Homo-oligomer: A and B are copies of this chain.
Amino acid sequence: MSILVVGSVALDSVETPFGKADSVVGGSATFFAAAASLFTPVQVVGVVGNDYPLEQLDFIAERGADLSGIEQKDGPNFCWGGRYHFDLNSRDTLFTELGVFADFHPRIPSNFQDARFVFLGNIDPVLQLDVLNQVCSPELVVCDTMNFWIEGSRDALLKLLERVDILMVNDAEARQLADEPNLLKAARWIQARGPRYVVIKKGEHGAILYGDDWIFFAPGYPLESVFDPTGAGDSFAGGFFGYMAGAQSLGERELKQAMMYGSATGSFAVEAFSVDRFRSLTPREVAERVQEFRDMTEFEHRLEGGA
């Protein structure tokens, strides 16, 4: 089953303690598509400038992704520059140049409008709503957002949440959105506004899925070297949603597995700059890390006298 993804297709300039990359392909739609296309077909909608090296995304198309929804416009591409601190858990944004992204109004091609699975990458909630209005009958909508929209487009975001099945944000964003420091309470607050599920990403600490009456923890994969954290969250989303769509079932069992596929996929993203690790990555390698997660989380326990 295909996933429609709408988001940014950026050029990233990144400095980490281990090196520097200038104007490499990035953006939420790019990382999501690179990750999800390991497991399921993807339809990408976005905008790029006439300076964008679209051929850098050929490997995603070769896996069956449809990139025909990426519009190329006259003007410079969206550029982001950031520098990571020594421990890689925090970063400074050095510059953001919107370029053609400033006037991005997603137009969903007619052959994408019957998408059942939709991933709304981190863009203005007004545009995310607009995307949903162009899709006939979405079955599962997964949505990301960030502090900028939580602060500046709160009303649109709350309206959007009513139509979202899974909100996928990091812990700081969940706390900010709900104005509540306790993560469990923040997740419940968000769920009360629409999304049946909330996935809270916590970087190296893994991620938590809040369901109706159950909770599931996915650890972060223990890596000896994290090279570049850029795109880890979108790659998590791609692995998560890609696995779900591929499994063609949306039950608790698949959601838990998808959390592990998300965490494993995200862990590969940070092993190289840009989407480079995805160029050679295979679904088998991801599945092997998921299998490793089993050994890292499984324990025997029997409650004496029954539950």
A interface with B by C-beta (< 8 Å)? 86-88, 175, 181-185, 202, 204-206, 208, 214-217, 219, 222-226, 253, 256-257, 259-260, 287-288, 290-291, 293-301, 303-304, 307
- A209 nearest in chain B by CB position: B296
Interface centre among A181, A204, A299, A304 (most CB of B within 10 A): A299
Interface centre among A215, A226, A260 (most CB of B within 10 A): A215
Q: Which of B184, B223, B257, B307 contacts A223 (CB 8 A)?
A: B184
**Contact between B299 and A215 (Cβ–Cβ < 8 Å)?**
no
Contacts of A294 in B (CB 8 A): 299, 301
**Contact between B299 and A184 (Cβ–Cβ < 8 Å)?**
no
What are 9 sample pairs from A and B whose C-beta atoms fall under 8 A apart? A86-B181, A182-B226, A183-B204, A184-B224, A215-B222, A216-B299, A256-B298, A290-B301, A298-B298
Contacts of A224 in B (CB 8 A): 182, 184-185
**Contact between B87 and A175 (Cβ–Cβ < 8 Å)?**
yes
Further 17 A-B residue pairs, CB within 8 A, beyond A182-B223, A208-B222? A182-B225, A184-B222, A184-B223, A184-B224, A185-B224, A205-B205, A208-B219, A214-B295, A216-B296, A253-B299, A257-B300, A287-B303, A287-B304, A290-B303, A291-B303, A294-B299, A294-B301
